[in-house]
Chain A
Amino acid sequence: AQSVAQPEDQVNVAEGNPLTVKCTYSVSGNPYLFWYVQYPNRGLQFLLKYITGDNLVKGSYGFEAEFNKSQTSFHLKKPSALVSDSALYFCAVRDPEAGASKIIFGSGTRLSIRP
């Protein structure tokens, strides 16, 4: 069965510093991986995805993520954090070889950027 883990409930970073939000996954085949962001009392907004190809993918608002198959990880990164990046971030996975549309989300990581 597919699963996603976000090991950190909260990440605190000073504005201007690089940030990393961690995600590991478990699927039977090659995964489709996604990152979303959620602001208070709102739905989720898509940031970026890895389907195939280059392991480093770039997305919205200057975020990027690196797919590492050997470590089954898909960590979200940004070179220079902004206070406005403070939000709840979710990693998600689909397993195309499972033959279903099921999308599983991690437990979320709250990112807090201090001025």
Chain B
Amino acid sequence: DGGITQSPKYLFRKEGQNVTLSCEQNLNHDAMYWYRQDPGQGLRLIYYSQIVNDFQKGDIAEGYSVSREKKESFPLTVTSAQKNPTAFYLCASSGQMNTEAFFGQGTRLTVV
């Protein structure tokens, strides 16, 4: 079954802790993305990667970090520097530029 998998579905973090969200795809896509979704603000781009070992900051990268060591994997770390991390996080991947992106089912992160 081809697709993109995010885990966990729900994640709770204590203030001051770093947490890592997993994103794996078996679509053989070069590009991968992380978005944050807050009510009424749509999807905001955190980081994206076009190829392995390379990634670029999106519009709201502060307080987040990523790695792209393998084509299939693009984990996102929410660091303690992110002051308001409670949100719904979506990972996506895409092939060539004229093709659509495929999305995972999302991870809902809550700070407790």
Q: List the interface of chain A (C-beta within 8 A of B).
A: 6, 9, 32, 34, 36, 41-46, 49, 51, 90, 92, 94, 96, 100-108
- Are A43 and B103 neighbours in the complex by a CB distance under 8 Å? yes
- Are A41 and B56 neighbours in the complex by a CB distance under 8 Å? no
CA distance in complex: A94, B100 (Å) = 10
Instruction: Answer whether residue B2 sits at the interface, using C-beta atoms and an 8 A cutoff.
Output: no
- Are A96 and B42 neighbours in the complex by a CB distance under 8 Å? no
CA distance in complex: A104, B88 (Å) = 17
**B106 surroundings in chain A (CB, below 8 A):** 41-43
Given contacts A43-B92, A101-B30, A105-B45, 16 further A-B contacts (CB under 8 A): A32-B97, A32-B98, A41-B106, A43-B104, A44-B101, A45-B103, A46-B102, A94-B97, A96-B98, A101-B97, A102-B45, A103-B33, A103-B48, A103-B92, A103-B94, A107-B40
Given contacts A90-B42, A100-B50, A101-B50, contact A44 B98 (CB under 8 A): no
Interface residue tally for chain B (C-beta within 8 Å): 29
Most buried by A among B30, B31, B42: B42
- Are A103 and B101 neighbours in the complex by a CB distance under 8 Å? yes
Instruction: Answer whether residue B108 sits at the interface, using C-beta atoms and an 8 A cutoff.
Output: yes
Given contacts A32-B98, A41-B106, A105-B35, contact A9 B40 (CB under 8 A): yes
Which residue in chain A gives the minimum CB-CB distance to B30?
A: A101
**Shortest beta-carbon contacts, A-B, top 4:** A43-B103, A107-B42, A105-B43, A101-B31
CA distance in complex: A14, B30 (Å) = 42
Which residue in chain A gives the minimum CB-CB distance to B32?
A: A101
**B103 surroundings in chain A (CB, below 8 A):** 36, 43-45
> Which of A41, A51, A101, A106 sits near B94, CB closer than 8 Å?
A101
CA distance in complex: A9, B30 (Å) = 33
A-B contact pairs, 5 of them (CB 8 A): A34-B100, A44-B90, A90-B42, A100-B50, A103-B45
